[in-house]
Structure 1
């Protein structure tokens, strides 16, 4: 009988000592639930029922923290289309971050944009400002066109990269003589 009482006493002490701090459990659980991962990602973007872009990435990580964001740490490629699904431009980068609440995008590490005119932009960083609807960079940029090579620091461009402005141009620039057109 004493052995049974002793055993019950040990079990009661063990059960009482295994109490968890509720806040610690909730914090641990929220950390686990705060990340979503995906592999072989394909995302279609559309407006008014028309596909405007397609994003392809080997992996993504979605953080549900405040503010929520999506990371593309293994590279990404975006194909941008016109109304008839004609390819307007392609964009690639080794890393990307998308802020879900703002709609802003931050691309880095070997960012390359090629538009349908064959113009190519190379930079270390390119960002999308969803409010102003422009791409911009504060880093060094290189633009190669069929007739010219441009270099400088800082850039602003429209959505399809048909209008671009280098903020601080460096090096020679070829300017077409307007009198030769007549």
Structure 2
């Protein structure tokens, strides 16, 4: 009888001492539920029924907290296509972040863009505005073309990288002789 009374007492103490703060549980659940993760990511982007880009990445993390974002912490690669699915340019970076509310993409760490003419942009930070279809940066940039190498700070370029402007050029620049065309 004493054993049974002692057992009931211990069980009552154990049950009463195991209490969770409901606010702490809700906070833990909301933080855990506010993130989505994925591996081996392939995303196709299209407008008006036409594919214009394909993104691949080994991992992805999507935060549902405001402001919501998608982070690519282990690298990403984007293939940009023209209307006939011809490859216009490729973009790669070791890190990327897409802010869903803004619609902008922020790329960092070994960013490389190569267009179909073989021109190459190297930088450590590049922003992409898909709505305006432009790339821009305020950081150091290097551009290598088949005929020249350019260096400077700041960049504005269209999405297929066919038109680009370095805002503050540094180093030698090759200029074509405009009179050679006339002769």
TM-score when normalising by structure 2: 0.93
Q: Once the 2 structures are TM-superposed, how far is the Cα of residue 7 of structure 1 from its aligned partner?
A: 2.9
* 1:60 paired residue number: 60
Distance in structure 2 (CA, Å) of the matches to 1:3 and 1:149: 88
Matched, 1:33 2:30: no
Check whether the contact 1:142–1:151 (CA below 8 A) recurs between aligned residues. yes
* 1:124 paired residue number: 124
Pairing 1:97-108 to 2, within 5 Å after superposition: 97-108=97-108
Distance in structure 1 (CA, Å) of the matches to 2:98 and 2:141: 22
- Structure 1's unaligned 5+ residue stretches are none
**Match of 1:78, SS?**
strand
Pairing 1:1-80 to 2, within 5 Å after superposition: 1-80=1-80
- Structure 2's unaligned 5+ residue stretches are none
**Match of 2:54, SS?**
strand
Matched, 1:141 2:141: yes
Q: Deviations over 1:41-62 (max 9, x none)?
A: 1110011111100111111111
**Match of 1:24, SS?**
helix
TM-score when normalising by structure 1: 0.93
Distance in structure 2 (CA, Å) of the matches to 1:180 and 1:133: 35
**Match of 1:160, SS?**
coil
How many residues align? The count is: 182
Q: Over aligned residue pairs, what C-alpha RMSD do you find? A: 1.5
* 2:161 paired residue number: 161
Check whether the contact 1:102–1:130 (CA below 8 A) recurs between aligned residues. no
Distance in structure 2 (CA, Å) of the matches to 1:28 and 1:49: 41
Q: Once the 2 structures are TM-superposed, how far is the Cα of residue 142 of structure 1 from its aligned partner?
A: 0.8
* 2:115 paired residue number: 115
